[in-house]
Amino acid sequence: MTPPRARPSRRHATKKRVASEDKEFFQLRLYVAGRTSRSQAALQNLKMICESHLQGQYRIEVVDLLVNPQLAKGDQILAVPTLVRLLPPPVKKIIGDLSHIERVLVGLDVRPLPRGAVS
């Protein structure tokens, strides 16, 4: 008969859970219409912003409405490119090429890093 496995202490499990809850995960969906220069700029700007401010805490899904136009209805997309923040709630939308970094950060509810801070 094998001895029962030791359970991790509740204190350890709670610490681990709290540490993972400290960082919010961002699920982002970028709606574009083809491979236009504006769509490509929006994707590049989004990737740069995410790498600078959300390292390891995000997932980007790109939806091309020329390929799947029916997907625009679900998130009520009226213009492209449009970024939709699905997580964390509430859902938020930003329209444009995402070149105004401060506007995007405010729209995503992301606090910019202090100047000179290393992430």
Total residues found in the chain within this entry: 119
CA nearest 104: which of 45, 51, 62? 45
| pLDDT at 1 (0 to 100) | 57
Q: Whole-angstrom Cα distance, residue 16 to residue 103?
A: 34
Structural domains of the chain, with CATH: 34-108 (3.40.30.10)
Single pTM value for the model? 0.75
| pLDDT at 111 (0 to 100) | 76
| pLDDT at 85 (0 to 100) | 97
Question: For each of the chain's 119 residues, which pLDDT tens digit applies?
Answer: 555 555 544 444 433 333 344 578 999 999 999 999 999 999 999 999 999 999 999 999 999 999 999 999 988 999 999 999 999 999 999 999 999 999 999 999 987 655 555 54
Q: Letter for the amino acid at 51?
A: E
For tokens 């202490």, the residue is: 9
